[in-house]
Amino acid sequence: MSADDGETWSLPKRFPDSILGPIKNKPIQLASGMIVSPSSVESEDGAIWKSHIELSNDGGYTWERVAIPSADTVKVIQPTLIQLPDGNLKALLRSDQNYVLESISKDEGKTWSEVKNGRMLNPNSGIDAVTLADGTFLLVYNPTEAGSDWSDGRNKLNLAYSTDGENWKDVLKLEDEAEGEFSYPAIIQDSKGFVHISYTHNRTKIKYLKVDLRN
């Protein structure tokens, strides 16, 4: 912890055994102060993929773990979080179902609905989304279905926009190649309104883009 804007830091302290911290995607903090951190578990043999949320209402001193319910036949990991216009939270999840899956919380992350198919294709690859300052949303994802190889479908990477967190429209093709592997995106918006996107580029480098939404 730092009390001086990062100049000095306290000694590290381990999370409780049940708390993993955010897995791939960023936490969000609600107006109430609640920190909502997306997380998930994968077994080494791949048999278990389960997502959950970790909550803190005291600035990160203590944490509570909350399940995102999913059927045993459905694998979901690496959730990303948006806050809907009605104040509810939506988790968008990487899945093995050829779609981004969704779950809703109406109580600041304390409980979640069982995951269901959303409207965006997903070839079992990482995604990330952000709630913009104006209350709309951006999602970075691979807009394809899975194939026989783990990397199939990752040759395309799109940026989609939504006003309601339910209906999405592709607004930018970040990558569109016959072959390639573009994956594990991350997206944020800074205090000046610029959007920053990064992702792996063919497993050899990290690609970064800065997007100006002000016009």
Average of per-residue pLDDT across 30-58: 95
Question: Sorting pLDDT into bands at 50, 70 and 90, what band is 213?
Answer: confident
Question: What is the fold, at CATH topology level, of the domain defined by 78-211?
Answer: Neuraminidase (2.120.10)
Is 80 exceeded by the pLDDT of residue 28?
yes
Average pLDDT over residues 185-210: 97
Mean pLDDT taken over the chain: 96
Query: Span 13-39, mean pLDDT?
Result: 96
SS3 string, the chain, reads CCCCCCCCCCCCCCCCCCCCCCCCCCCEECCCCCEEEEEEEECCCCCCEEEEEEEECCCCCCCEEEECCCCCCCCEEEEEEEECCCCCEEEEEEECCCEEEEEEECCCCCCCCCCEEEEEECCCCCCEEEECCCCCEEEEECCCCCCCCCCCCCCEEEEEEECCCCCCEEEEEEEECCCCCEEEEEEEECCCCCEEEEEEECCCEEEEEEECCCC
Q: Domain residues of the chain, as ranges?
A: 78-211
Q: What is the pLDDT of residues 100-134, one digit of tens each?
A: 999 999 999 999 999 999 999 999 999 999 999 99
Kindly report the pTM of this predicted structure.
0.94
